[in-house]
Chain A
Amino acid sequence: MSVNMMTAHEVAKKVFNKEELFILDVRNQDAFADWKIEGENFDYLNIPYFELLDGVDEVLDKIPSKKEVLVVCAKEGSSVMVAEMLSDEGLTVSVLQGGMKAWSEHLEPVKVGDLKGGGEVYQFVRIGKGCLSYMVLSDGEAAIIDATRMIDIFIDFARSKEAKITNVFDTHLHADHISGGRKIAEQTGATYWMPSQDAQEVTFTFTALEGGQAVTIGNTAIDIHALYTPGHTIGSTSFVVDDKFLLTGDILFIDSIGRPDLAGRAEDWVGDLRESLYSRYRELSSELIVLPAHFMIIDELNEDGSVGEKLGVLFQQNHGLNIEDETEFRRLVTENLPPQPNAYHEIRETNMGIIDPEEEKQREMEIGPNRCAVR
């Protein structure tokens, strides 16, 4: 019997709208424990598909009859098999099209605000992995910040807005996901910017991002001011866009702060991280809307699915910004850190151009949650 297919986009909408969904995840238990589809009103049952090969009897009474049911696996195949068995038993269930692979790669564009000169800022929410990318649009030009490796969505989106991509930025050398910045720049002829201090080993040409620069997008006066805020990496740079938005990269998140250990230098960089968070950001307007490069938990999503909060609010509520004692701060960011992201070393090498894995390998390297933050 045929089963319904649900796209990653449809699931993302359910997350944003806080809808109910029952997820039967048939991946093996380790994979489920490590990383799953998160939704405020989602319920879960995890039974590996290989335990259901002889029949689905054991799960039938665990599946609620009143909720929409979505069967999920790594790549779709085994969830289709299980869903068909459930369907044969008379249940109506859907399958996540493309499985967790598609979920990991899905980006949902959300508008986060307008610019004074008539432009717009969009946030691209990679809901399955917690990565956030940005597009600043103004008068037929587009800038992209912290793009993921799924570059077509950015190029197509800019085209749909009739904008030419002129500048592409990375706030730092990413360790948890593969940047699409360089490839977008190659395809569109845009300028690719990255902080020179993070780029000492890179094998390609780029334009060096230094603190205090301004880049104009469009004819209207939209400036992107680079603000040097080291800590997560030595080159980590923040941008203030249009005196309204503060793009913090992986230095400051909504409910957490950046971790300084992904290049193996926690002890060296913890002081820089504190300086950036406790001195440099303090000098900025508390009205700026913080737009980070990641979110960690689904609670950080606003009503419309975007991730952002006023800097002033974060100074009051973000635990990582309220540790008076420097020793305690040092302890927080150097001890008891969460596990490092999957394949982070290879991801850094890919982003430096030192290795160039094929697409399937890149996909595998990125599997799992992002782990750039400490709370």
Chain B
Amino acid sequence: MDVTKVIDAKGLACPMPIVRTKKAMNDLESGQVLEVHATDKGAKSDLSAWAKSGGHELLKDTEENDVLKFWIKKG
């Protein structure tokens, strides 16, 4: 996957993963992909809901060793 930017929100509690993601997303062009790393369990449902409400597309998410990774395509 062609990732334009990666943000590390590991160790951050809600609402910071979303705050960081939103900020980073502002710097991307439509169609570009942002990769987000987080450890807050709530990030999963919040990021998918946030992406949906903002018109972005959550392409994929994984969980490895308690690290949640998300790939979001800017809408």
Q: How many A-B residue pairs have CB under 8 A?
A: 42
Find out whether the CB atom of B42 lies under 8 angstroms from the CB atom of A50. Answer: no
Find out whether the CB atom of A50 lies under 8 angstroms from the CB atom of B53. Answer: yes
Q: Which of A37-45, A71-79, A349-357 contacts B (4 or more CB under 8 A)?
A: A71-79
**CA A364 to CA B53, docked complex, whole Å:** 25
Within the complex, what minimum Cβ distance (angstroms) separates A108 from chain B?
A: 26
Find out whether the CB atom of A53 lies under 8 angstroms from the CB atom of B18. Answer: yes
Residue in B15, B19, B22, B49 with the greatest tally of chain A CB atoms within 10 Å = B15
A186 CB-CB contact with B under 8 Å: no
Find out whether the CB atom of A53 lies under 8 angstroms from the CB atom of B22. Answer: yes
Q: A50-B22, A53-B22, A73-B14 are in contact. Are A28 and B46 (CB under 8 A)?
A: yes
Find out whether the CB atom of B14 lies under 8 angstroms from the CB atom of A77. Answer: yes
A49 CB-CB contact with B under 8 Å: yes
Which residues between 33 and 50 of chain B lie within 8 Å of chain A, taking CB atoms?
A: 41-42, 45-46, 49-50
Within the complex, what minimum Cβ distance (angstroms) separates B58 from chain A?
A: 13
Within the complex, what minimum Cβ distance (angstroms) separates A48 from chain B?
A: 6
Find out whether the CB atom of B46 lies under 8 angstroms from the CB atom of A75. Answer: no
Interface size on A, residues (CB 8 A): 17
Residues of A within 8 A of B41 (CB): 360, 364
Give B14's nearest chain A residue, CB to CB: A77
Find out whether the CB atom of B49 lies under 8 angstroms from the CB atom of A78. Answer: no
Residue in A28, A51, A75, A81 with the greatest tally of chain B CB atoms within 10 Å = A28
* Interface SS of chain B: helix
* Interface SS of chain A: helix
B13 CB-CB contact with A under 8 Å: yes
Find out whether the CB atom of A48 lies under 8 angstroms from the CB atom of B15. Answer: no
Q: A75-B42, A364-B41 are in contact. Are A50 and B49 (CB under 8 A)?
A: yes
Which residues between 1 and 58 of chain B lie within 8 Å of chain A, taking CB atoms?
A: 13-16, 18-19, 22, 41-42, 45-46, 49-50, 53
Within the complex, what minimum Cβ distance (angstroms) separates A76 from chain B?
A: 9
**CA A75 to CA B50, docked complex, whole Å:** 17
Q: Mark A46-88, 1 if CB is under 8 A from B, else 0.
A: 0011110100000000000000000001110110010000000
Give A29's nearest chain B residue, CB to CB: B49
- Identify which of B13, B18, B45, B53 contacts A75 (C-beta below 8 A): B13
Interface residues on B, range: 10 to 19
Residues of A within 8 A of B42 (CB): 74-75
Give B49's nearest chain A residue, CB to CB: A28
A30 CB-CB contact with B under 8 Å: yes
**CA A51 to CA B19, docked complex, whole Å:** 11
Give A52's nearest chain B residue, CB to CB: B15
Find out whether the CB atom of A31 lies under 8 angstroms from the CB atom of B45. Answer: yes
Residues of B within 8 A of A74 (CB): 14, 42
Find out whether the CB atom of B53 lies under 8 angstroms from the CB atom of A51. Answer: yes
Residues of B within 8 A of A77 (CB): 13-16
**CA A260 to CA B60, docked complex, whole Å:** 38
Find out whether the CB atom of B15 lies under 8 angstroms from the CB atom of A81. Answer: yes
Within the complex, what minimum Cβ distance (angstroms) separates B65 from chain A?
A: 14
Pull 14 A–B residue pairs with CB atoms less than 8 Å apart, ordered by A.
A30-B45, A30-B49, A48-B50, A48-B53, A50-B18, A50-B53, A53-B18, A53-B22, A73-B14, A74-B14, A74-B42, A75-B13, A77-B15, A81-B15
Q: Footprint of B on A, CB under 8 Å?
A: 28-31, 48-51, 53, 73-75, 77-78, 81, 360, 364
Given contacts A48-B49, A48-B53, 19 further A-B contacts (CB under 8 A): A28-B46, A31-B45, A48-B46, A48-B50, A49-B15, A49-B18, A50-B22, A50-B46, A50-B49, A51-B53, A53-B18, A73-B14, A74-B14, A74-B42, A75-B42, A77-B14, A78-B15, A78-B18, A364-B41
